[in-house]
Structure 1
Amino acid sequence: MNNMNDSLPDLMRRATETLEPESTDLVERGMKRGAVLRRRRTALLSLSGTTAVLVTAGIVFGGTQVLGSPDHKQAPVASAPAAAATTPAKPAAPATGKDTLATLRKLVPAGLQISKPTSMDGGLGGQNSASIVVDDGNGASWLMVTTGYAYGNPTDCSNSLPHTCTIQADGSALEAVTREAVSRNGHLKEASSNYVMLTRPNGTQVALTSMSAAGEGSPVTRKQPLFTLTELAKLAGSKNWGYPPKKTITQQPAAEPKPPVVPLPATLATLKKVIPGHPQLSQPHTWGGGQNGYNGASYVTNDGKGASSVDALLTTSAPVKKCPEEGLSHCKVRSDGSVLAWANNVPSYDDSRQQKYGIVGNFIQLYLPDGRTINMSSFNGLGEKPEVKHTRAAPAYTVEQLTNMADSKLWIFPGGTK
């Protein structure tokens, strides 16, 4: 086993890497945007059932902060008299990838060095994309934008990781995710990034990613992405973006859930029952459910010694018989054939923010012999990456307590998907 300082969305995703391919795909879609979120392939096709980690879970938090509306209110414009409206206004021409690149360059603050411009149109769902590498003198940072349309429920936050999505005053949905660098066996696999996606009530969508590298899969070139979540949200909220022609998308039938299909409130209720003691519970949250093939639930607990987030993620797929080669730092096969992996006091950040916020978490992953799997975590704050200082010295629940909760016979596991 390797000691890893990875975010919970990564840990939970790795917990499903040995599952059947179709189930893995569903978990990736539901955890979306935590890993999920910042990639061009996840950017703009918000089909039914799609974030992540990162459970994460995230759980909680996938590591993010909640942002206000990026738009400034505009003064109302008086309409022209009906008699004067003899010629209807000509609709704006659809934008191309080159138009998107031109807008991106226009919106980037002055004084930054810009290089390696790229653009593309006609992607999946008809979206446009563009990217540039920007440098403020502290290292290159890849900035990528995708514009297009949401399909399904355009401003629905129900499948987002906790605290990563907010509904703005104008009805838009703003999703914001910070993703830490990911390492495997001491080698960097992925640089850190900030990601936002703004979906307006009319279905138009803008997604932006800023990385601490000059491109996906490239070596790290700076400590943090050049653009913060707030700055990316401001760019996404610009009225200057144009959009490609809207295409008719024929959606494939959603995967049929295998029985049982467990209501999310039932999973939340079970979590409430298995939490030991009588702490104060607040901020209930659920994600997944139905055709996603997994159920997630979380609470913020307070036993009088400070707030602590606790969460659970349940799914069912191919049985795991031995300890995964990668993942949590400790693992054993128990006498009943179940596989238990765990890690204590895992720091949430691998940079100066860890000293600033001090968030650590305890994690367990329990693989039952019949394929049922439960992941649980507890943090010494409001979540994994709440961007606020820790609220207690240690997570409220130890690995042993999390294991006892996971071992409860009260859990009803969703049956995955066909």
Structure 2
Amino acid sequence: MSNLDSKLPELMRQATEDLEPESVDLVERSVAQGTRLRQRRSVLAGTAAGVAVLATLGVVVGAVQHFDRDGQAAPAGSLAVGPSATPKPSLPSKAPSGPVATSPSANLKDPTLTTLKSLLQGPSRTFSMPENWGGKDDGFFGASWVVDDGKGGSRVEVLLERFKGPARCAGEPGCRTRPDGSTIRSESLSPEYSDARQKEFGIVSSHVEITRKDGRRISVASYNGVSEKGTKHTRVAPILTVAQLTKLADSQAWQFPAKVSK
């Protein structure tokens, strides 16, 4: 077996030394083809790596966009900046005036709306832009009118609520307990904006919130414009002062069909 191994190469050389290749450039073409295949594999490897990088970036970007949609985060590459101005503190039961809370068209037969108008009647006063919101299922009732006494329109609004528990201030600033056991909170000529928009719109308001001993709460507000925000003021001061708002909130005419909340 060992003799055959040593003689086999020589026998193969002798058997093939007189043979001509079918093509003189066979070896050259084989080498070239091999080079092209290596280059192609290199390109494919580079492409695959690029695709992998793009896929990774796609996952990251997709995750950022998903977080942005669900978590309201800032877009990638930007800084999440919060509000620059501290919002003005307002009464807890201040009546909402946004598009969600406000009815598209007021129900002129709504008892809260009609009661508000009857209590605001006065010489030379006109009423417009009625709104009402809330209901029994919501647990609160709100209404508003724009009242004009010849000195410009003023939005006046009321919010009626009922809650479980005694009326108390619990040391809250601006709140006091009255002799009848009710509590009262008030703000006078409070700016609606705490930034440059206040100079642009100039809206100020006065608020009074009274919580009666039995849990009934009446919040009333008056503005020196036809809306809470987004429009310029139409008069120097709201049509009602804090004293007048207190009298309005103290009226026994308010009805509370809302059930006690749990």
TM-score category of the 2 structures, normalised to the smaller one: 0.5 to 0.7
Q: Which residues of structure 1 form unaligned runs of 5+?
A: 1-97, 103-115, 121-127, 143-177, 185-194, 198-262
Match of 2:24 in 1: none
TM-score, normalization by structure 1: 0.40
Inter-partner Cα distance in structure 1 for 2:86 and 2:184? 26
- For 1:334, the aligned partner's letter is R
Match of 2:139 in 1: 293
Match of 1:372 in 2: 216
Inter-partner Cα distance in structure 1 for 2:249 and 2:115? 11
Matched, 1:343 2:187: yes
1:70-149 equivalence runs, <5 A = 117=64, 119=66, 129=70, 131-134=72-75, 140-141=80-81
Q: Check whether the contact 2:206–2:223 (CA below 8 A) recurs between aligned residues.
A: yes
Inter-partner Cα distance in structure 1 for 2:200 and 2:161? 35
Match of 2:226 in 1: 382
Match of 1:304 in 2: 150
1:246-265 equivalence runs, <5 A = 265=110
Matched positions, count:
186
Inter-partner Cα distance in structure 2 for 1:196 and 1:305? 27
**Larger Rg belongs to:** 2
TM-score, normalization by structure 2: 0.62
Match of 2:34 in 1: none
Match of 1:360 in 2: 204
| Deviation >4 Å, runs of 4+ | 134-137
CA change 1:264–1:365 in 2 (3 A) is farther
1:15-414 equivalence runs, <5 A = 117=64, 119=66, 129=70, 131-134=72-75, 140-141=80-81, 181-182=86-87, 265-278=110-123, 279-326=125-172, 330-385=174-229, 387-414=230-257
- Give 3-state SS (helix, strand or coil) of 1:133's partner: coil
Bigger relative contact order, structure 1 or 2 (CA pairs below 8 A, ≥6 apart): 1
Q: Check whether the contact 2:187–2:242 (CA below 8 A) recurs between aligned residues.
A: yes
Give me the identity figure in percent. Answer: 36
Inter-partner Cα distance in structure 1 for 2:244 and 2:225? 17
Measured after TM superposition, the shift of residue 264 of structure 1 is 7.4
CA change 1:355–1:318 in 2 (3 A) is same
Q: Check whether the contact 1:319–1:367 (CA below 8 A) recurs between aligned residues.
A: no
Aligned residues: CA RMSD:
3.4
- For 1:407, the aligned partner's letter is D
Measured after TM superposition, the shift of residue 117 of structure 1 is 2.1
- Give 3-state SS (helix, strand or coil) of 2:240's partner: coil
Which structure features the higher share of helix residues? 2
Measured after TM superposition, the shift of residue 342 of structure 1 is 0.4
Inter-partner Cα distance in structure 2 for 1:410 and 1:134? 52
Inter-partner Cα distance in structure 2 for 1:310 and 1:196? 17
- Give 3-state SS (helix, strand or coil) of 1:355's partner: helix
**Cα deviation digits, residues 36-81 of structure 1 (max 9, x gap):** xxxxxxxxxxxxxxxxxxxxxxxxxxxxxxxxxxxxxxxxxxxxxx
**Cα deviation digits, residues 313-355 of structure 1 (max 9, x gap):** 00111244322544xx522211111111101011000000001
- Give 3-state SS (helix, strand or coil) of 1:376's partner: strand
- For 1:293, the aligned partner's letter is G
Inter-partner Cα distance in structure 1 for 2:117 and 2:99? 32
Which structure features the higher share of strand residues? 1
- For 1:273, the aligned partner's letter is S
Inter-partner Cα distance in structure 2 for 1:352 and 1:345? 17
Q: Which residues of structure 2 form unaligned runs of 5+?
A: 1-57, 90-97, 101-107
